[in-house]
Chain A
Amino acid sequence: MRRTLLALAAAIGLLFATTPAANAYEPVNIVHTERVQVGPYGMTVGFSTWPLRAMQSLDFTFIPDDGIAGKSGTLAFLNPETGRLGRPQPLAKHPRKLEVWGLDIRALQTQGSWTFRFEIDGPAGKGAGELRDLAVLEQPGPPMAVSWSISLIPLIVLAVLIAVAWRRTRLRLLVAR
């Protein structure tokens, strides 16, 4: 047992030792841009993959022409499936590209034509603007029903286990009572 524990400790130690080498976070790689006018502010919206597909996550960047210094703002999504405008969220610095606003590894869940609604407050006053008709293509991969069925296998194993144990203990629990 002691030897097993030592081996385990060594394996975990090795993982710790090699982690920093693998710990480099991917840079934000913009492959496509769109322009949007938010009141007095021109802004470039960047995408790390193009075209967009439902559920496929990517990095978004939002870069006002003269930078984000001295500005604040919000972003709300208009989901084509529900037709509802989501709650505005503050425009925050991208965690891996701190000089611009952005969303890290974010997916748009449904296919269709999305709208991003921006509001920016800055030296030139407040302004609002929309990036319209952002096409999001069909979700890649197998249908979600198939994926969810696979994910529920442990639950089925558990249900079988409980059913067997329930039947086998029934008489003994009755006797004990």
Chain B
Amino acid sequence: MDLTAGGARAVSVSRSERTGLVPAGTVLAGSVISLVGLTWDIQWHGDVGPDTFFTMPHLFLYSGSAISGLASLVVVLMTTAARRAGRPVDARVGGRAINVFGRIFAAPAGYLVTGTGAAMFLLYGLWDQWWHGLYGFDAVIDSPPHIGLLLSITLSIIGTVMVFAAAREHRWGTVGVVGSLGVLIAFSTVTVLGLQQIDVDGLDVVSVGIALLSVLLVSAGAGFWGRPGGAVRVAAALAVIQAITWWFSPWAAEAYASAVGLPMRDYIDGVPAMPSMMPMALLPIAAVLEAVYLLSRRGWPAGRVSVLAGVIGGLLVGASMPIQNAIVYGSDRMPWAVVFATGAAGAVVGLLGGFAGWRFGGMLRLLAPAKGENAHA
């Protein structure tokens, strides 16, 4: 089964396996630096407190986007120059080139998305400064400019996934897709805090959002991988991120406070704030999804199997999150009514996640040029 795209005018170019690795690695590094900055910043506000624009976590957050944005800009300019000079453009570097502003720029699809996200991040950063000038430096993560900033980084990370998907003929391409999908799930657990604005009695709306996005992205990993193991690999990537940030976030907040001579707050709970929002049960849940995918070997269409898997995955993630929160924060009693309601809502959104995720996986595969068609002018 070959899901790759065809149709474009093809010329053969001989490039080494590492073509495109440096810019792809740079945008991924930018995403990871943003992730480090975010988990550090959230922990800082909880455990230490005082805020100015010039803190180390903010530096990580902003430089992560700057690195992704500049790398994307460089690739777009190089691609544009190559096309103008009549040289072939390698579609494994970020995907097919898209015309921007007429034919002024030729931007590989993945880098176009990453760069657009980084540019929007800059605009939302300016709005955030204005916001803090008006409302003060209250450290609420779910203010409108913050959600705009987080959504912009999300767009950049989606571009990063696309960049690696375009290079899927290389091992680093497939590994990069899995890794950046893990980064995207980790990041999304904070972005969905925007859903706190929707107040539904007896339902953990934020956990419903986590159920949707984690099922969507794990299913995308499975659809992209095209054979058993994609879902588990994405969930494993998240587990690695969760394990590292679980240790890193409290340590970094305390080390930085000590370095700048600030005391820790009284009565801190010691819970790593952002890592504790990531679904801990995702790895075993992904294994369940893999078992459901085996139904496609009995002749069921893979897309429909993914919908069924999504319902089961959404139910399990949705139900597990309130339990996880109760355990992590040492709650006296388990909120069973919320567990059941959130599981049920998770199943509904999981249906959508399983359906769209599998399709997104297929779309990611199409970003890579067909075999023997490595370049188009």
| Residues of A participating in the B interface, judged by any CB pair closer than 8 Å | 1, 4, 8, 12, 15-16, 19, 22-26, 49, 55-58, 90, 92-93, 95-96, 98, 104-107, 140-141, 144, 147-148, 150-155, 157-158, 161-162, 165-166, 169, 172-173, 176-177
Q: What are 15 A-B pairs at a CB distance below 8 A?
A: A8-B67, A26-B52, A57-B135, A95-B262, A95-B263, A98-B263, A105-B136, A148-B147, A150-B148, A154-B117, A154-B155, A158-B151, A173-B3, A173-B366, A176-B4
User: Chain B residues near A158 (CB, 8 Å)?
Assistant: 151, 154-155, 158
Is B56 touching A19 in the complex (CB atoms < 8 A)?
A: yes
Is A105 touching B74 in the complex (CB atoms < 8 A)?
A: no
Q: Which of B48, B138, B363 contacts A107 (CB 8 A)?
A: B138
Is A4 touching B134 in the complex (CB atoms < 8 A)?
A: no
Of residues 193 through 230 on chain B, the ones whose CB sits less than 8 Å from some CB of chain A are 194, 197
Is A173 touching B151 in the complex (CB atoms < 8 A)?
A: no
A1 to B363, CA, bound (A): 30
Of residues 115 through 144 on chain B, the ones whose CB sits less than 8 Å from some CB of chain A are 116-117, 120, 124, 127, 131, 134-140, 144
A52 to B102, CA, bound (A): 51
For residue B362, which residue of chain A has the nearest CB? A173
User: Chain B residues near A169 (CB, 8 Å)?
Assistant: 362-363, 366
Is B359 touching A173 in the complex (CB atoms < 8 A)?
A: yes
Q: Closest 10 A-B residue pairs measured CB to CB?
A: A57-B138, A57-B136, A92-B266, A95-B49, A154-B151, A151-B144, A151-B148, A147-B144, A22-B54, A176-B3
Q: Which of A55, A57, A95 contacts B137 (CB 8 A)?
A: A57
Is A93 touching B120 in the complex (CB atoms < 8 A)?
A: no
Nearest CB on A from B258, distance (A): 14
User: Chain A residues near B63 (CB, 8 Å)?
Assistant: 12, 15
User: Chain A residues near B136 (CB, 8 Å)?
Assistant: 49, 56-58, 105, 107
Given contacts A15-B59, A57-B137, A95-B262, 9 further A-B contacts (CB under 8 A): A15-B63, A104-B50, A140-B135, A148-B147, A151-B145, A154-B151, A157-B116, A173-B3, A176-B2
User: Chain B residues near A24 (CB, 8 Å)?
Assistant: 52
A177 to B301, CA, bound (A): 9
A57 to B265, CA, bound (A): 19
Q: Given A107-B136, A173-B3, does the pair A25, B363 have CB atoms closer than 8 Å?
A: no
For residue B53, which residue of chain A has the nearest CB? A22
Give how many B residues have a beta carbon under 8 Å from the other chain's beta carbons.
Answer: 57
Chain B CB within 10 Å — which of A98, A104, A154 has the most?
A154
Chain B CB within 10 Å — which of A22, A26, A151, A162 has the most?
A151
A1 to B124, CA, bound (A): 28
Is B265 touching A92 in the complex (CB atoms < 8 A)?
A: yes
Nearest CB on B from A72, distance (A): 10
Q: Given A19-B56, A107-B138, A150-B127, does the pair A1, B22 have CB atoms closer than 8 Å?
A: yes
> Is B255 in the interface zone, CB < 8 Å from A?
no
User: Chain B residues near A177 (CB, 8 Å)?
Assistant: 301
Nearest CB on B from A125, distance (A): 22
Nearest CB on B from A90, distance (A): 5
Is B135 touching A176 in the complex (CB atoms < 8 A)?
A: no
> Is B267 in the interface zone, CB < 8 Å from A?
yes
A95 to B261, CA, bound (A): 11
Nearest CB on B from A78, distance (A): 18
User: Chain A residues near B124 (CB, 8 Å)?
Assistant: 151
Q: Which of B139, B148, B194, B301 contacts A153 (CB 8 A)?
A: B148
User: Chain B residues near A19 (CB, 8 Å)?
Assistant: 54, 56, 59
Is B140 touching A23 in the complex (CB atoms < 8 A)?
A: no
> Is B70 in the interface zone, CB < 8 Å from A?
yes
